[in-house]
């Protein structure tokens, strides 16, 4: 069964379409009045049969039957403000922001670089090395390990082998492996970036972006600090390559007294941030107790 993405014979459009098309309207096309343009774009872009095409493909669904001045501009404005496209579609341009050199340390062991060297030939049962480098003096600590440690073991190694001798560093540069990301939770005094982990059934189909969030300040030329909700237990500073501008959605005309509800927030690993609006169905479970 083929589902038409647009209700071409919609009574609301037919009744509001002028019988005489204005000058400039192509032959065979219907002129859409101003009050019906946004619902028409919404039908061509956001209906179930279209799949949210982009700003270039959405006008092609409209030009065969409908016309109004500056159609491409109105469609582009609507698509830019679509919340579903903003969260789900990956950007097609190169990452924003240039790579900046790391700051030059002023004292030894204030700025560290850590990484693992794995899959080494066994030596006294050890096949892995935790490399800790001081970026000021280039001095390093090599800690042999029997295998990749857990996040807690990594944090204990840093405390016992480095921090107890040289103090807490100002920053640590790593490759954002799971051992480093989770071990940073044990080091609240370090200004580190954490990933947003969503509790969703399929990672491949999960949203690429969450938000929108207000920018609090610009830390440097490529880093911004955002105002995050309290359930988001992550560091609020992000590189510009992880951000994209927010465009206000084009609201559909509603009946008097009706308001368009914003989309529900996402669920984080740390806890649910959904607000239950309505219970659609329930199932009763019985627990048998044996005596």
**Chain segment 130-151, per-residue pLDDT in tens:** 999 999 999 999 999 998 888 8
Q: What is the CATH number of domain 11-80?
A: 1.10.340.70
Q: Does domain 105-191 have CATH number 3.40.50.1360?
A: no
Domain ranges of the chain: 11-80, 105-191, 193-291
| DSSP class of 113 | E
- Residue-wise pLDDT tens digits, 163-199: 999 998 988 888 766 666 555 554 444 464 445 666 6
CB 222 within 8 A of CB 230: no
**Is the pTM for the entire model greater than 0.75?**
no
Q: How far apart are CA 42 and CA 37, in angstroms?
A: 9
CB 53 within 8 A of CB 45: yes
CA-to-CA separations, 232 to 84, 180, 184, 226, in angstroms, rounded: 20, 19, 16, 11
Across 130-140, b (16+ Cβ under 10 Å) vs e yields: bebbbbeeeee
How large is the C-alpha radius of gyration of the chain?
28
CB 142 within 8 A of CB 117: no
- Res. 19 pLDDT band, cuts 50 70 90: low
| Least confident segment among 20-34, 146-160, 196-210 | 196-210
Backbone angles phi, psi at 131, to 5 degrees: -100, 125
Looking at residue 274, its pLDDT comes to 57
Mean pLDDT to the nearest integer, 72-99 = 82
Instruction: Give the position of tokens 């990452």.
Output: 95
Mean pLDDT to the nearest integer, 269-274 = 52
Looking at residue 172, its pLDDT comes to 85
């Amino acid at each position: 069964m083929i589902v038409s993405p647009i209700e071409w014979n919609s009574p609301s459009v037919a009744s509001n379409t002028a019988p005489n098309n204005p000058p400039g309207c192509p032959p065979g096309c219907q002129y859409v009045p101003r009050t019906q343009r946004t619902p028409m774009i919404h039908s061509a872009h956001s209906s179930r049969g279209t799949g949210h095409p982009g700003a270039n493909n959405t006008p092609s669904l409209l030009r065969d039957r409908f016309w109004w001045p500056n159609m491409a501009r109105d469609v582009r404005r609507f698509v830019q403000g679509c919340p579903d496209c903003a969260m789900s579609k990956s950007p097609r341009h190169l990452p924003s922001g240039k790579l900046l050199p790391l700051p030059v340390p002023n004292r030894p062991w204030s700025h560290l670089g850590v990484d693992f060297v794995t899959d080494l030939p066994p030596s006294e049962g050890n096949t892995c090395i935790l490399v800790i480098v001081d970026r000021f003096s280039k001095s390093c600590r090599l800690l042999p390990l029997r295998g990749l440690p857990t996040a807690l073991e990594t944090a204990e190694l840093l405390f016992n082998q480095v921090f107890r001798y040289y103090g807490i560093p100002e920053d640590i540069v790593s490759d954002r492996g799971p051992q480093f990301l989770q071990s940073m939770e044990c080091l609240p005094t370090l200004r580190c970036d954490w990933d947003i982990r969503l509790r969703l059934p399929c990672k491949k189909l999960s949203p690429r972006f969450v938000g929108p969030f207000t920018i609090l300040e610009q830390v440097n030329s490529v880093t911004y600090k955002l105002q995050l909700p309290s359930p988001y237990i992550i560091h609020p500073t992000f590189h510009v390559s992880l951000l994209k501008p927010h465009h206000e959605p084009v609201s559909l005309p509603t009946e008097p007294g009706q308001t368009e509800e914003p989309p529900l927030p996402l669920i984080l690993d740390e806890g649910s941030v959904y607000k239950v609006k309505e219970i659609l169905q329930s199932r009763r479970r019985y627990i048998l107790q044996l005596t």
